[in-house]
Amino acid sequence: MSFAGGATANEAQREDEWRRDEEERGKPKILNPISHRRHHSEIDSSLRLLDRIAAAYLHSSIAAAYLHSSTVVSRQAHTLQPASTCRRIAAYLVLAQSHASLISARLPAPPRGPCLWSVPPWSRTSDISPRALSASTSPRSRIDFVMDSTSQKQTVILDDELESAKHDKGSIKRSKETSDIWVYFKKIKGVDSIDKAECIGCKKQYKCGGKQYGTSTLWRHLKICDKLKFNDVGQMVLDQDGKMRSKKINQKLSRELLACAIIRHDLPFSFVEYDGIRTWMKYINPDVACISRNTLVSDINRIYLKEKEKLKYVLTTIQNRVCLTSDLWTACTSEGYICLTAHFVDNDWKLNSKILSFSHMPPPHSGVELAAKLFEYLKEWGIEKKVFSLTLDNASSNDNMQVHLKEQLSLHDSLLCDGEFFHVRCSAHILNLIVQEGLKVATVALNKIRELVKYVKGSETRMKKFGECVQAVGNIDTSIGLRLDVSTRWNSTYLMLDSAIKYKKAFASLQFNDKNYKYCPSSEEWKRGEKICEFLEPFYDTTNLISGSSYPTSNLFFMQVWKIEVLLKENLSNEDEVISCMCKKMMEKFDKYWTQYSMVLAFGAILDPRIKLSMLEFFYSKVESDALKCQKKMDLVKTKLYKLFDQYSNTNNTSSSQPQSSTTHTLSQSVGGVKGKNKRIFDEMMAYESQTITSAGKSQLDLYLEEPKLEFAYYQDLDILEHWKNQKHRYPTLALMACDVLAIPITTVASE
């Protein structure tokens, strides 16, 4: 007889007796084997029907997900029901609530005995209270059935028992490790059925698995492991860009950024101890640690040493040489300071200017002491054998210093051509001396203009009244205000004249509005001032051009100096007597310093593909009336140029010094990535081309000079370093020489 039809009287009596015996003994109240066998057969028949009903719902993502993740319910249930039955029952519980009553209606009535399940699968879900859903006879063996009343979603959380999985003979999959700790550890099989977690960094092992061994020990190890780079980001916050970032402050990075800000903005070390700054920092983020000035000094020194090592590596590994500038000056405290700056072209063919040293220079400031100090700096940076040139101003101590420094470097065989092209004079300083000599003649003509500017700028009341005059006159460009010159800077005199001339009408108006105004120049004096300003403009433009430090200037020297010489010679017979006298005095200074053009800077002009030798010869012909002298100068320049090139050819590898044709250059660009056999074939082709040119007796310099020069009209904005970067495959040795020559700064502005 089936269980649904009821049990016989004898069976019911035996069941009651068995239950009473169990209660007396205090054993768990479980179904007796007789009742269980009848009930089990009824469940099997009902499950076959439920399988067909549930098949339609298994395609949904929710039912499929729960069916996939369901496991054996409990250890006790496993002994009574097969694992597949438990998984099917768990899956049926997650079906839509609207169909729960239909499923439960087809299940047989529950037996009278107590149930092993927290939620019996034969109960209607509509009749189950929330409390009953969470109740359990055992905390380790239950199904928690959670209902979300708002979204009508149902979730079944099944307690996965590892020991049940061991008895299941592979029917149940082991759950995946979900902790983030397993990114840094790997699980290995241990003895006595106890797994171990091995650190992927230091290989240290810890017991893991089950309820006895959690992940706390592994997390503690992760924080102290020196083989792994682990940073607990802590709480995450949403920044202003909408991206997740760590709320935790990296104190090391914070201090480094603070030190960089102090350096960049030239702030005092005590800045970090200001009460207002500390209050503001704590308001922004209380986790930021405030530091003292001594800590800041240590951080800045650490940054300096790190950056020094990086720069030292660059200077010692580049193939080309280093050009230097140096300047000595006295502070307002009468203390002497010396600055040494390096100029070089890096591997990316970009011009760099880096200060190597800026330190106190104790007396005496003689040439010998200065040379010893600079040589000490060069040895400290490891570039005593890589120096190409040294640019200095025209102080007498510098002339003596460069001689002693050249001797020390020559002892180490460091200089090319025995230091013949080592010393370069500061062109801006020479130009300043030339113009200052001419301004001495024009002092009287400029005095009235200087005094009227000084009068207006000497009082706020007069400045206000002058502003009213400017508005009354109108049509005056006020973007540039009045400027007063400085005696040590001639270009400030030019700027004073240029600004005063623009306000000429306003000065005339001030004469009628201010009774104390007595410095108004006459119309003739204004005209003379305008002529002097126009005469000085080319000198001002040249000074600005050659004072740049972010672009090569050695190729600009020859043309700019030539323009100045032509300008002075043309104005020697100027109809204005003041201009004529200025030119005579300026020409004397020019002949003193620039009668003989700098030879190495002439090389810079030749290495400019827009100038070369033909343009250089034209410049000489314009300033030298004697054709024979002009030819001698050209021959001397050419001889010295080949001498320097031969030095580079002998210093560098002979294989790299051979030129390559334009065809080879194009081919090298198209197959730049060849390797293996293809590269060997390509190298053989290049060697063949080089032998062909060598057999013709032409060097790289010969080929370069024979090529037509580039037209200025089309290449006014030529990036000369980029040009030589593209030519380095054709002229490897000549390109290396161009790197050094074009890196020469013709002024000491970078060190000033």
> What is the DSSP track for 681-703?
HHHHHHHHHHHHHHHTT--HHHH
What confidence score (pLDDT) does residue 520 get? 81
Which helix (H) or strand (E) element contains residue 251? Answer: helix 251-264
Residues shown for the chain: 752
Q: Express each pLDDT in 578-601 by its tens digit.
A: 999 999 999 999 988 887 778 899
What confidence score (pLDDT) does residue 247 get? 60
More confident residue, 667 or 596: 596
pLDDT at 280 over 90: yes
pLDDT confidence bin for 406, thresholds 50/70/90 = very high
| Measured CA distances, 718 to 538, 638, 665, 735 (Å) | 22, 24, 20, 16
pLDDT at 577 over 50: yes
* DSSP-assigned letter for residue 205: E
Average pLDDT over the chain reads 76
pLDDT at 677 over 60: no
Mean pLDDT lowest among 120-134, 290-304, 406-420, 424-438: 120-134
What confidence score (pLDDT) does residue 738 get? 94
Rounded Cα–Cα distance for residues 105 and 89 (Å): 14
What confidence score (pLDDT) does residue 44 get? 58
Return the HEC string of 300-354: HHHHHHHHHHHHHHHHHHCCCCEEEEEEEEECCCCCEEEEEEEEEECCCCCEEEE
Q: Which of 69, 56, 64, 7 is nearest to 32 (CA)?
A: 7
> Please, are residues 690 and 624 in contact by the beta-carbon 8 Å criterion?
no
Rounded Cα–Cα distance for residues 49 and 85 (Å): 13
pLDDT at 706 over 70: yes
pLDDT at 107 over 80: no
What confidence score (pLDDT) does residue 219 get? 87
Average pLDDT over residues 718-726: 93
pLDDT at 271 over 60: yes
pLDDT at 64 over 60: no
Q: Is 743 left (phi over 0), alpha (psi -120 to 50) or beta?
A: alpha
What confidence score (pLDDT) does residue 658 get? 43
Contacts of 454 (CB under 8 A, 6+ apart): 484
pLDDT at 97 over 50: no
Average pLDDT over residues 255-279: 94
pLDDT at 99 over 60: no
Rounded-to-10 torsion of CA 133, 139, 141, 145: 20
Is 0.75 topped by the overall pTM?
Answer: no
Q: What SS3 class is residue 358? A: strand
pLDDT at 532 over 80: yes
- Which residues lie across from 342 on neighbouring strands? 324, 354
What confidence score (pLDDT) does residue 491 get? 87
pLDDT at 3 over 50: no
Q: Express each pLDDT in 450-491 by its tens digit.
A: 888 998 888 888 888 888 888 888 888 778 888 888 888 888
Mean pLDDT lowest among 140-149, 206-215, 527-536: 140-149
Mean pLDDT lowest among 208-212, 341-345, 422-426, 500-504: 208-212
More confident residue, 262 or 248: 262
Q: What SS3 class is residue 474? A: coil
Percent of the chain with pLDDT over 90: 33
* DSSP-assigned letter for residue 510: H
More confident residue, 258 or 486: 258
User: Which of 183-210 are b and which e, b meaning 16 or more Cβ less than 10 Å from the residue's Cβ?
Assistant: ebbeeeeeeeeeebbebebeeeeeebbe
* DSSP-assigned letter for residue 377: H
Q: Express each pLDDT in 604-640 by its tens digit.
A: 999 999 999 888 888 888 777 788 888 888 999 999 9
pLDDT at 180 over 80: no
The values of phi and psi at residue 146, to 5°, are -110, 130
| Burial status of residue 79 (CB atoms within 10 A of its CB: 0-12, 13-18, 19 or more) | exposed
What confidence score (pLDDT) does residue 512 get? 83
Q: Express each pLDDT in 339-383 by its tens digit.
A: 999 999 999 999 999 999 999 999 888 989 999 999 999 999 999
Average pLDDT over residues 141-168: 39
CA 43 to chain centre: 71
Helices (H), 514-625: 523-546, 554-570, 577-594, 599-606, 612-623
pLDDT at 32 over 80: no
